[in-house]
Amino acid sequence: MIQADAPHHRLAWRLTPARWAVAILSVLAIVLSVWQLESERAGILIEPVPGTGSTPATVYRLPDSGPAPVVIVSHGFAGSRPLMQASSLTLARAGYAVVAFDYEGHGRNPVPMSGDLDSPEGTALLLMAETGRVIDAALAQSWADGRVAILGHSMGSYIAIRQAVVDDRLAATVGVSMSNDSITPSAPRNLLMIQGAWEGRLIPDARAALALADPDAEFGDTVGDPALGTARRAVLAPNVEHVGVIWSPAMIEETRAWLDATFGRQSDGPVARMGGWIALLLTGIVALAWPLARLREKTNEPRPEPLSRNRFLVVALLPALVVPLALSPVETQLFPVLVAEYLALHFAAYGALALALLWWWGELRWPGRAEAGRILMLAGLVAFYGICVFGLAMDRYVTSFYPIPIRLAIIAAMALGTVPYMLSDALMVEGGRAPLWRSLTARGAFLISLGIATALDFERLFFLLVILPVVLLFFLLFGMMGGWIGRATARPAGAGIGLGLFLAWALGVTFPMFQAV
C-alpha cells in the first residue's frame, strides 16, 4: 500500500550470498551474450540505403566487395529490421547485399499503414508498392549487380509472394511462416516455403502450395529447376514456432542454399546463431534486477493487514466484467495506432475502478512528501532499467525499441492507462508479498477482460488478440521483477508506477501505426 512517512534504513550493498551469486552470474551472462552477438556483426558493413523516401532501409554487406545479388528482407506484423538480423547477417557474410526495411507503420517508419486491412487488395497493395520502391532503390546502388530475390516472414512473406508474382525482377522468393492465396504452379519463380515444425496451422498452406507443382511432393523435396526459375520446395524448421523460426539455423541454411542455387553461386561460412544468445541476454538483464532491488532503502513500516479474501476477489474480478461492458460502445480514433485508444482506456478504467475500490475500503492512503519522493525515485529507477537497459538490448538485437517523434504522444497516452492499472495491480498483490494465487487471479482476470472486450466487438478489436501474448509475457517477466522490487523495498507503489511507464513505452514503440483513409 502507499504508506505515510516512516523511519528508514539503507540496505545498500548488503546482499546475501545468493544475491551476490545471481548478480555475478547475470553480469557474466550479459557480457558473454553481448560479446557473441557483436561477433555476429563483426566484419559486416551496416549502413542506410539512399533513395527509399520515407522508408528506413539498411544494407548489410561485406566491405570493399564488388557488386552482388541483392536480397530484400521483409519483416512480419509488429516487427522491424533488427528482428531479421540473423538472416541478414548470414546472407551478407555469404556475399549477398542484403537490404532490410521497416514497413509503413512499423519500427522507425514515420508513415502509418493505411488502406483496408480486411481486403487483400487494400493495405497489401500499398505495402507491395513500398516493397517495389525499396527494390528500385537497392538495384540503383553500386553494390547491386542487377539480380534480386526476396525473403519475408509472416506478413512479410504474404507481401513478398504477392510482389514476386507481379515483379519479374525477383528471381527467387523465400516465404517463412507463409500463408498466401496468390501462389500458382509457376508463380512466383523459385519459391521456397519454410514453416516452423510447431506452426500447425500454417503447415497445410505450404503443403497445398507445393502440391500445385507436384501433387506427390513431400516436405524436403525440390520440384523443378532453380536455373529455369521453376523450382518449388517446402521444408519444416525443427523445434520452432512462429517467432522462433526467425532465428532457426535450419531456416537460414535452407535460405542460403536456395539463393545460391538460384544465382549459380556457392557460399558457406557460419550461420548467425542469435536466438539463444538473445534469450540469455534478456534473461540476465531481468535476473540482475533481483540483487539490484536490495540496493534501495526499505521502510520500517510494519506490513499492512492484507485485503480479506472476499474484498480481494471483488477488486480483482469486478473490473474484469464491468470495464469491457462499459467500454463496448466507445469508439475513438485519436492516435494512428491499431486499437491504441481502446487499450489505453481499458487500462485506465480498469486501474481507476480497482484503485477506487481500494480507497473505499481504506487500503489506499496518500504518503507524506518525503515518502512520496522516495516512491517516485523508485518508480523512475524501475522505468529507467526497463527502458534504457532492457530496451537497449531489445533495440540493438531484437526490434526497434526507441521511438520516432510521432510515437511519443502514443506512449504518453498509453501511460495514462498503464500507470493506474499497474499501480492497482501492485497494491492488490502487495508488491509481490501476497500469495501466488492472488497474483495469478488478478492478472488472469485482466487478460480475460481483454478477451471479453474482443468477443464483444471482434471486428474492431481483433488486434487485441495480438496484444494478449505481449501482456502475458510482461506479467511473467516484469511482474516477477516488480515482485522482487516490491518485497525488497516494501514500496509496491514505486514498482507499480515504474512498470506502468515501462509497459506504456513497450506498447507505444512496438505496435503498428495505422491511419484509416
H or E element that contains 298: strand 298-299
C-alpha cell at 441: 487471479
| Percentage with pLDDT > 90 across the chain | 68
190-204, 368-382, 383-397: range with lowest mean pLDDT: 368-382
pLDDT mean over 373-394: 94
Q: Are residues 84 and 192 in the same domain?
A: yes
My answer on whether 189 and 327 are in the same domain is no
Predicted confidence at residue 304, as pLDDT, reads: 63
Retrieve residue 23's grid coordinates.
Answer: 548478480
Q: Are 395 and 513 spatial neighbours (Cβ–Cβ below 8 Å)? A: no
Residue 3 has pLDDT above 60, yes or no: no
Identify which of 142, 137, 140 has the alpha carbon closest to the alpha carbon of residue 64.
Answer: 142
Determine, yes or no, domain membership for 253.
Answer: yes
pLDDT at 55: 97
> What is residue 297's predicted lDDT score, i.e. its pLDDT?
62
Residues 302 and 260 in one domain: no
Please tell me the predicted confidence (pLDDT) of residue 14. Answer: 66
pLDDT at 235 over 80: yes
Q: What is the mean pLDDT of residues 407-426?
A: 93
Question: What is the percent of the chain with per-residue pLDDT over 70, rounded to a whole number?
Answer: 93
- The domain boundary, picked from 272, 307, 329, lies at 272
Q: Is 188 helix (H, G, I), strand (E, B) or coil?
A: coil
pTM for the model stands at 0.90
Using pLDDT thresholds of 50, 70 and 90, give the confidence band for residue 119.
low
* Domain final position from 241, 272, 303: 272
Reduced to 3 states, what is the DSSP secondary structure of residue 196?
strand
Q: How is residue 228 written as a grid cell?
A: 529455369
Are 402 and 509 in contact by the 8 Å Cβ rule? The answer is yes
- Please determine, for residue 194, whether its predicted confidence score (pLDDT) is greater than 80: yes
| Domain encompassing residue 390 | 277-510
Confidence of residue 70 (pLDDT cuts 50, 70, 90): very high
Least confident of 298-302, 393-397, 470-474, 499-503: 298-302
Tell me: pLDDT of 10 over 50. no
The Cα 424–Cα 446 span in angstroms is 12
Beta-bridge partners for 175 = 152, 193
On whether both 330 and 199 belong to a single domain, the answer is no
Sorted by sequence, the CB contacts under 8 Å of residue 263 that are 6+ apart come out as 69, 147, 149, 171, 172
Q: Return left, alpha or beta for 318; rule: phi > 0 is left, psi -120 to 50 is alpha, else beta.
A: alpha
The answer to whether residue 22 is domain-embedded is no
Predicted pLDDT at 7: 41
Q: Mean pLDDT over all residues of the chain? A: 90
Where a domain ends, among 272, 305, 329?
A: 272
Grid cell listed for 349: 478504467
473 HSE (CA, 13 A, CB side): 11
Q: For residue 295, is pLDDT > 70? A: yes
pLDDT of residue 8: 43
- 290 with 410, same domain: the answer is yes
Average pLDDT, integer, range 11-19: 69
Contacts of range 355-361, beta carbons closer than 8 Å, 24 or more positions apart: 355/420, 355/423, 355/424, 355/427, 357/311, 357/314, 357/315, 357/318, 358/307, 358/315, 358/424, 358/427, 358/428, 361/307, 361/311
Residues 91 and 177 in one domain: yes
Maximum Cα–Cα distance across the chain: 80
51, 163: one domain: yes
Within a domain: 332: yes
Distance of alpha carbon 498 from alpha carbon 445, whole angstroms: 22
Is position 248 within any domain?
A: yes
